[in-house]
Amino acid sequence: MIRPADGNETVAAWRDAVLHDGPTALVLSRQGIEVVTDGTAVERGAGVVRPVDRPDVVLVGTGSEVAVCVHAAEELTSSGLAVQVVSMPSWDRFDEQDEGYRSTIFPPQDADDMVGIDRFGESAPGPTVLDKLGINVDHVVARARDLVTNTSQHDRSNR
């Protein structure tokens, strides 16, 4: 299963589906999506879209949510945080990668949080649905700030 973030990942996913010996499901969005990747994440299941040397937080998105992560990272960076953004179009492919590759995508983390849903989506224009479900820049920024603040406080209390 591949859930591309944008047109570049959709092209890569289609190419891989045609070359793959077996079934492949492409999970596409019906709304227009901003291009924020170079498409390379598809091959290995995940790839860094916005790298930083030592991230304070890593935002991970699949499909149309990758653009939300990119915009949230811009806002968080303006407030002084180092934010890495990852596109993960295929958990299956990513799980097949060696630990060395996986650690380039996800440096060791002390805590995690999630903004998303665990069911099939809703029916309305894409931006309206994402906003109603809390999958928007403001919510991602708030959760990331809370996560970094709480992790920092926990680290200080354990010294």
What average pLDDT does the segment 19-27 reach?
A: 93
156 pLDDT band, cuts 50/70/90, is very low
| Domain coordinates in residue numbering, the chain | 44-157
- pTM of this prediction? 0.80
Q: What is the pLDDT of residue 159?
A: 44
Token pair listed for 71: 């915009």
Lowest mean pLDDT among 1-5, 63-67, 130-134: 130-134
Identity of the highest mean pLDDT range in 101-105, 113-117, 151-155: 101-105
pLDDT at 153 over 70: no
Is residue 98 exposed (0-12), middle (13-18) or buried (19+ Cβ within 10 Å)?
Answer: exposed
What pLDDT is stored for residue 126 in this prediction?
Answer: 73
pLDDT above 50 for 6: yes
Domain 44-157, CATH: 3.40.50.920
Q: Is 84 helix (H, G, I), strand (E, B) or coil?
A: strand
- The residue with tokens 């811009």 is 74
In sequence order, the β-bridge partners of residue 47 are 87
For residue 23, the SS3 value is coil
Residues 40-89: pLDDT tens digits?
999 999 999 999 999 999 999 999 999 999 999 999 999 999 999 999 99
pLDDT the model gives residue 154: 53
